[in-house]
Structure 1
Amino acid sequence: MAKIFSTVRELIYWEYAKLVAGRVAGRRQQYAFVNYVFRQFSEQKMSPASILVENKKLFLEADQCAYCGNSAELQWEHIIPLAMGGPDSIDNLVRACRSCNLEKGARDPYQWYAARHDLDGIPRLVLGKFLKLVFERYADVGLLDDSSNFKTNHVERVTLGQVFRAPALPPVSSGEK
């Protein structure tokens, strides 16, 4: 039975819990463990690691493609393409071989891996950075916990990156109600 979510926060926590399960239990489909981690995130007993952890991993593995492990013709690649509105910052960059960079094109990791029929094959470094970026963006535009937006726009993991195509909402100052 598929997990039902009502907000983007829940969906991102679930995907991040699967990522943790892959690292700790060896498989992202270890659902008893995934459910446990998801509950810990949901109850604020745990929080996803800082993006600094992913950036440290990036520099430790900078001599190989984040997608296939190849070490030839490495380029900087935007996880969320600039064409989709992704930021031009280290938080949105990984090293990729020319072949993977060209094949991925102007797609985010979920879109690319969905086309390859391998949604659960996104490498840890790439997925960790992607989830943190979309989490921050949804929070910035006030849609992280908006259940009506979640339902209206049929948000799912392959459409999470679409939030970068939407214009940013102006920040709400603490004096506004």
Structure 2
Amino acid sequence: MEYHLFGLLLIALNGMEITGGTLENGFRIYRLENCMANLSVLFTNVSFELKNQSYTIRFDIDVLEDDIEDVDFHLSIDRCLNRAAPDTCEEYHEFDFPGFCSILHLHGPWSPIMDNMEPPYPCPPKKGKYIMKRSIIIKIEDLEKLRLERGYYFITKLKQSEMKTHKLLFCGLIEGQF
């Protein structure tokens, strides 16, 4: 699950909006955007395409400061009856990953993303530009492993902050529906 959430997280921070066609028995993303500007970690040169029931994603990461220590990662998912009824939203899932760098360094489903960065992306982040060498592909069927209930509209909020100071490094918002 972390691989898919991490992939969506990275594209969410580019500030783009997807309003393209529906997917039969798939996941449609309505909105991917940055929560706020002027953060220390930026995702740039993002390309995002839906083709053959798969999302193809490519991005670079710019880290603008050098004194970042270990980071905390927080993800919350709200479930709504539909896109037009935000007053029906309720908390669905919430995940906290304190000391996220210790998790990120473990070999896991996110490793293909991290192994694809040049130079290797450090955690905690260090000032510099990290370029994705090849696009990654996330299949719609793999997104279904997130176990989100069909027919609902989901709002996912992602935040990463410095562990010691709680300074917000980045945040993103993803809205979509199965």
If the TM-score is normalised by the length of the shorter chain, which range does it land in? under 0.3
Name the structure with the higher strand share: 2
Name the structure with the higher helix share: 1
Question: Normalization by structure 1: what TM-score?
Answer: 0.28
Question: Normalization by structure 2: what TM-score?
Answer: 0.28
**Relative contact order, higher structure (CA 8 A, sep 6+):** 2
